[in-house]
Amino acid sequence: MSAETTAPGQAPAEAPPPTRFGRINVFTRLAAWAGLDPRLLGMLAALAVIWIGFHPLTERTFLTPRNLWNLMVQSSVVGVMVGGMVLVIVARQIDLSVGSVLGFVGMVMAFIQAQVFPLEVWWNPLATILVGLSLGALIGAFHGYLIAYLEVPSFIVTLGSLLAFRGGAWLVTSGRTIAPLDTTYQIFGGGVNGSIGATASWIAGIVAMALIVWYFLSSRARRRRYGFTVRPLWGESLVLSLNLAFVAGFVWLMNSYPYPGTTEPRGLPVPVLIMLGLGVLMSTVLRSTKFWRYVFAIGGNPEAARFSGIPTRRITLIVFMIMGVLAAVAGIIATARLNAGTNSAGELSELSVIAAAVIGGTSLSGGVGSIPGALIGAVLMESLRNGMVLMDLPSAMQNVVQGSVLVLAVWLDVIYQRYRRR
């Protein structure tokens, strides 16, 4: 193109300033003011509709402490992995191998635990878990290396691993199931000995509440110091009390399901604690690091990230390593819960994990996603499955519903995004 000349006097009138605020409705403004993501509120509403809807359809068993307790334990395998998947997808990658990695790592751990180490010695679960986590990290680093440094597309690398590690899980014992496992190790599955009891649950709840109060106070003080506007005190207290009430309600719920034939409450199940602990760790500590910022920058504009001197390859490698470790954690929970290592553990769970992340607001085009959203997505998917099982729907039907819900959720998100961007 040549240097173009525009005729003088052709300059159009001053464009009116964009009237952005007119379009954002009261609900959105209120949510933003309260520091809540409107999309997150939308998902919580969808979850509430599903829960309330299932209650009468399941002869009033859905909304019982027993079922909700089980629902949380069932959600934990996907819930543990979904945080890693959020990072992977935000960085414009995909990991199709998590189910197979879960199966392979679980199988290796079961094999080492039952056939290499002596069972029922104190160090056995510890050593097994260390082996499992290291193996997960190694597999993740291997994926990350192929993807970031050798530039093989992640879809292909992890598709290959989906097949290879499923085969690997079979090869560990030529397809034999390994059972039983160490009794201490079974704690991680949330079975009979897998919850921490009422007192410890309340202590955990109070610690969590104290942390929330501390976070509110310190961030408020900090914003004051920089002279930013802070919410009025009553608004802050309202949001804070909602948060505290949620924690207290959750602990109370988990404490309302007793052991069979007793009135002794089970309390928080260990796998749920792991899921929530990892979720909180990722969405607070990890979220405030450079690493997190860089993952999102890479997802938003890889070129800008590179021009800004961000080590994009190294960041991508670490993202896949985190995913590998989380798949190993899920492997621990799955094998402990089953009290066995089987080569089919985690089959198709990559799809549930991706679906949960996407339902939770993670955009497949990268750059957008949140851990709390993804955790709600995991519970939502599991609620559908749980409810349909209680309704005695055939599993073929369950798949049809779950698949449709996934597509529906993404379609709604597309509409939401279109509405927002204008």
* Listed residue (238, 250, 264) closest to 208, CA to CA: 250
Instruction: Return d(Cα 280, Cα 377) in angstroms, integer.
Output: 15
Residue type, 281: L
Name the residue with tokens 């878990």. 129
Q: Assess 239 for contact with another protein (CB under 8 A).
A: no
Binding mask 4-23 for another protein (x = CB under 8 A): xxx----xx-xx--x-xx--
CB of 210 to another protein, least distance (A): 20
Binder among 2, 174, 262, 263 for another protein (CB under 8 A): 2
Which residues in the 346-405 window bind another protein by CB under 8 A?
Answer: 367-368
CA geometry: angle 8, 14, 16, nearest 5 deg: 160
Task: Evaluate whether 188 touches 274 at the Cβ level (below 8 Å).
Answer: yes
Residue 125 CA, chain-centre distance (Å), reads 25
Binder among 241, 301, 395, 404 for another protein (CB under 8 A): 301
Binder among 122, 150, 174, 303 for another protein (CB under 8 A): 303
Identity of the residue, 55 or 293, whose beta carbon is nearer to another protein in the bound complex: 293
Instruction: Return d(Cα 77, Cα 332) in angstroms, integer.
Output: 9
Instruction: Return d(Cα 166, Cα 344) in angstroms, integer.
Output: 8
Instruction: Return d(Cα 79, Cα 247) in angstroms, integer.
Output: 18
Identity of the residue, 304 or 389, whose beta carbon is nearer to another protein in the bound complex: 304
Q: Assess 304 for contact with another protein (CB under 8 A).
A: yes
Instruction: Return d(Cα 398, Cα 54) in angstroms, integer.
Output: 14
Binding mask 308-347 for another protein (x = CB under 8 A): xxx-------------------------------------
Identity of the residue, 24 or 244, whose beta carbon is nearer to another protein in the bound complex: 24
CB of 293 to another protein, least distance (A): 6
Q: Assess 229 for contact with another protein (CB under 8 A).
A: no
**Total interface residues for another protein by CB under 8 A:** 38
Contacts of 134 (CB under 8 A, 6+ apart): none
Identity of the residue, 2 or 262, whose beta carbon is nearer to another protein in the bound complex: 2
Residue 96, SS3 per DSSP: coil
CA geometry: angle 271, 40, 208, nearest 5 deg: 45
CB of 21 to another protein, least distance (A): 7
The one segment of 180-188, 219-227, 261-269, 272-280 that binds another protein by CB under 8 A: 219-227
Q: Assess 122 for contact with another protein (CB under 8 A).
A: no
Identity of the residue, 318 or 327, whose beta carbon is nearer to another protein in the bound complex: 318
CB of 340 to another protein, least distance (A): 40
Alpha helices in 177-232 (DSSP H): 197-225
Q: Assess 305 for contact with another protein (CB under 8 A).
A: yes
Contacts of 253 (CB under 8 A, 6+ apart): 65, 68, 69
Instruction: Return d(Cα 171, Cα 387) in angstroms, integer.
Output: 35
DSSP 115-173: IISPTT-THHHHHHHHHHHHHHHHHHHHHHIIIIIS---HHHHHHHHHHHHHHHHHHHH
Which residues in the 46-105 window bind another protein by CB under 8 A?
Answer: none
CB of 307 to another protein, least distance (A): 5
Identity of the residue, 176 or 223, whose beta carbon is nearer to another protein in the bound complex: 223
Residues linked to residue 269 through DSSP beta bridges, in sequence order: 195
CB of 81 to another protein, least distance (A): 23
The one segment of 72-80, 157-165, 168-176, 286-294 that binds another protein by CB under 8 A: 286-294
Binder among 9, 59, 174, 227 for another protein (CB under 8 A): 227
Q: Exposed e or buried b for every residue in 164-196, given b needs 16+ CB within 10 A?
A: ebbebbbebbeeeebeebbebbbbbbbbeebbb
Identity of the residue, 310 or 336, whose beta carbon is nearer to another protein in the bound complex: 310
Identity of the residue, 11 or 396, whose beta carbon is nearer to another protein in the bound complex: 11
Instruction: Return d(Cα 115, Cα 172) in angstroms, integer.
Output: 11
CB of 217 to another protein, least distance (A): 15
Q: Assess 293 for contact with another protein (CB under 8 A).
A: yes
Binder among 193, 237, 289, 404 for another protein (CB under 8 A): 289
Q: Exposed e or buried b for every residue in 319-329, given b needs 16+ CB within 10 A?
A: bbbbbbbbbbb
Residues linked to residue 258 through DSSP beta bridges, in sequence order: 265
Residues in contact with another protein by CB under 8 A are 1-6, 11-12, 14-15, 18, 20-21, 222-223, 225-228, 288-290, 293, 296-297, 299-301, 303-305, 307-310, 367-368, 421
